[in-house]
Amino acid sequence: MPKVLVMHGPNLNLLGTREPEIYGHTTMQDINEMLQKRGREAGITVDCYQSNHEGDLVDRLQAANHQYDYIIFNAGAYTHYSIAIRDAIAAIEVPVIEVHISNIHQREEFRHTSVLAPVALGQICGLGIESYLAALEAVIYKLGLHK
């Protein structure tokens, strides 16, 4: 059975209460359950992981190599400056899809640049929590499991 790792970066554990006008009222747990349900329907195991710590995210990316078919990753603020996470993505063979709930290109200037995008398979942003679902649907399609 194919395996997908969903990774959430800093402050995403606060979804549902943090800046709901930007991120909505859906919690990280709600997102995880939604993705796991869709994964089961498609015959995919979906594991979820969250950390507020850059080194932990790097360690998890490295550990995921050869263990997962795809990674869906919302790196939060690390998207804009973490060369360590960028290098970890570049170092592994698992394709990574970068996701964001908000449209990072419509926000503050410092959020417009992603240091991860050049090493990611793709980037989906601005669709709300559906950004995660769109990424999972892309994985389902790439694995040939769409119906």
23 is catalytic: yes
Catalytic residue among 49, 78, 100, 132: 100
Tokens 């919690």 identify what position? 27
Residue 53 CB neighbours (<10 A)? 11
Long-range pairs, 109-118, Cβ under 8 A, ≥24: 110/80, 111/79, 111/80, 113/80, 114/79, 114/80, 115/79, 115/80, 115/81, 115/82, 115/83, 115/85, 115/86, 116/73, 116/75, 116/79, 116/82, 116/85, 116/86, 116/89, 118/86
Catalytic residue among 8, 23, 68, 70: 23
Phi, psi dihedrals of residue 28, rounded to the nearest 5°: -60, -40
Distance between CA atoms of 103 and 110, rounded to whole angstroms? 13
66 is catalytic: no
Task: State the Rg of the chain over Cα.
Answer: 14
Among all residues, which ones are annotated catalytic?
23, 100
